[in-house]
């Protein structure tokens, strides 16, 4: 009888081992991270979506209005202007740093005296905080006391109104953004230049190609993936800029520099239209998702190190 039981237990052991799944013991380790993601990311977005369907204002009763906030946004000229300002600012603050940063990388990739010192000085704007930069540039943009107008008058150029003119406020704000973030593009492209192979250039020199042809047909195609990465980073940064614009102009003069972030802040914390501002958040999130998907498609179609 004992032999039969031992045989039975021995026969049953493989069955119990086969049903044992070590993955069942992993879930306690993933549970804290799952809870944090749900609490910090998923729940706020779901609650924001819920608030966007409410007529929710501080000091008034809350009521369900469905898509009314979105309909109001569709016919709100101030929101449309903010969206246009955001797209224009993002486009200018992306293209200009890429062009200037690529040119700076080509310069700093060459050997010349004190190159390391000039590189260090060039990247210093990245070290400062956006608020500090905004305060300094605000003083520089002053029509009477600003150093920029003083320099212009010394070379015979009339004083400019800079951020105090609706026609020039966005290009002026882009100038601040370009000054701060062109060094980042330079560093990314400079890393790409350091990894380029030498053989294509040697073959091109043997064939009699001039520097422009080598840049156009060799350097630029090889650098394109790095430039694309820099462009993705710049688009993401430019779309979420708030502190620099708010400190310098607060969205003014009037609403000439009011981007979606400024519009959202004013609706939520100045006018206390919580439901309306939540709808702005949802729309802005959809815009960001569409832009991100487009950039991912472009990135997937880009081949690395292919001439």
Give the model confidence (pLDDT) of 147-189 as tens digits. 999 999 999 999 999 999 999 999 999 999 999 999 999 999 9
Asked if the model's pLDDT at residue 4 lies above 70, the reply is: no
Q: How confident is the model at residue 32 (pLDDT cuts 50, 70, 90)?
A: confident
Asked if the model's pLDDT at residue 7 lies above 70, the reply is: no
**Residue 35: HSE in the Cβ half-sphere, 13 Å Cα cutoff:** 6
- The residues, any chain, with a CB within 8 Å of residue 294's CB and separated by 6 or more, are none
Give the model confidence (pLDDT) of 132-141 as tens digits. 999 999 999 9
Residues forming a β-bridge with 273:
57
Q: What is the CB neighbour count within 10 angstroms for residue 83?
A: 18
Backbone angles phi, psi at 136, to 5 degrees: -65, -45
Q: What is the DSSP letter of 304?
A: T
* Residue 253, preceding peptide bond in cis (omega within 30° of 0): yes
- The residues, any chain, with a CB within 8 Å of residue 161's CB and separated by 6 or more, are 143, 168
* pLDDT value of position 107: 93
Q: How confident is the model at residue 301 (pLDDT cuts 50, 70, 90)?
A: confident
* pLDDT value of position 307: 42
Backbone angles phi, psi at 64, to 5 degrees: -75, 125
Q: Higher model confidence: residue 4 or residue 198?
A: 198
The whole-angstrom separation of Cα 182 and Cα 121 is 13
* pLDDT value of position 234: 93
Q: What is the DSSP letter of 123?
A: T
Q: How confident is the model at residue 303 (pLDDT cuts 50, 70, 90)?
A: low
Q: Higher model confidence: residue 16 or residue 303?
A: 303
The label of the residue with tokens 């690529």 reads 102
Q: From residue 205, how far is each of 163, 223, 225, 307 by CA, in Å? A: 49, 19, 24, 16
Asked if the model's pLDDT at residue 10 lies above 80, the reply is: no
Task: Give Cα 254 distance to the centre of its chain.
Answer: 26
- The residues, any chain, with a CB within 8 Å of residue 167's CB and separated by 6 or more, are none
DSSP 219-270: IHHHHHHHHHHHHHHHHHHHHT--HHHHHHTTT-STTTT--HHHHHHIIIII
CB 203 within 8 A of CB 214: no
Q: How confident is the model at residue 243 (pLDDT cuts 50, 70, 90)?
A: very high
Domain ranges of the chain: 77-301
Give the model confidence (pLDDT) of 35-90 as tens digits. 888 888 888 889 999 999 998 887 777 788 889 999 999 999 999 999 999 999 99
- Can you identify the CATH homologous superfamily of domain 77-301? MetI-like (1.10.3720.10)
* Residue 230, preceding peptide bond in cis (omega within 30° of 0): no
The helix (run of H) or strand (run of E) holding residue 299 is: helix 274-301
Asked if the model's pLDDT at residue 13 lies above 70, the reply is: no
* Arithmetic mean of pLDDT, 93-116: 93
The whole-angstrom separation of Cα 133 and Cα 126 is 10
């Amino acid at each position: 009888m004992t032999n039969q039981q031992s045989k039975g237990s021995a026969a049953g052991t493989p069955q119990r081992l086969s049903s044992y799944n070590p993955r069942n013991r992993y879930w306690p380790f993933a549970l804290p991270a799952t809870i944090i993601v749900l609490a910090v990311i998923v729940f706020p977005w779901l609650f924001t979506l819920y608030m966007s369907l409410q007529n929710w204002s501080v000091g008034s009763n809350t009521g369900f209005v469905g898509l009314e906030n979105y309909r109001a946004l569709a016919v709100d000229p101030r929101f449309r202007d903010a969206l246009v300002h955001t797209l224009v600012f993002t486009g200018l603050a992306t293209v200009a740093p890429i062009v200037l940063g690529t040119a700076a990388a080509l310069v700093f990739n060459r050997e010349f005296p004190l190159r390391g010192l000039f590189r260090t000085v060039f990247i210093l704007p990245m070290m400062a905080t956006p608020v500090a930069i905004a305060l300094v540039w605000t003083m520089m943009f002053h029509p009477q006391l600003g150093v920029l107008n003083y320099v212009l008058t010394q070379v015979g150029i009339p004083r400019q109104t800079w951020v105090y003119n609706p026609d020039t406020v966005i290009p002026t704000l882009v100038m601040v953004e370009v000054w701060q973030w062109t060094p980042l593009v330079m560093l990314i492209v400079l890393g790409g230049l350091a990894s380029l192979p030498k053989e294509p250039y040697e073959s091109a020199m043997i064939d009699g190609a001039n520097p422009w042809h080598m840049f156009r047909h060799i350097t630029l195609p090889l650098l394109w993936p790095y430039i694309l990465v820099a462009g993705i980073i710049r688009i993401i940064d430019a779309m979420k800029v708030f502190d620099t614009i708010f400190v310098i102009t607060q969205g003014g003069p009037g609403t000439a520099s009011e981007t979606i972030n400024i519009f959202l802040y004013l609706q939520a914390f100045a006018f206390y239209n919580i439901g309306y501002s939540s709808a702005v958040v949802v729309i802005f999130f959809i815009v960001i998702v569409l832009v991100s998907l487009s950039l991912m498609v472009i990135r997937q179609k880009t081949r690395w190190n292919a001439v």
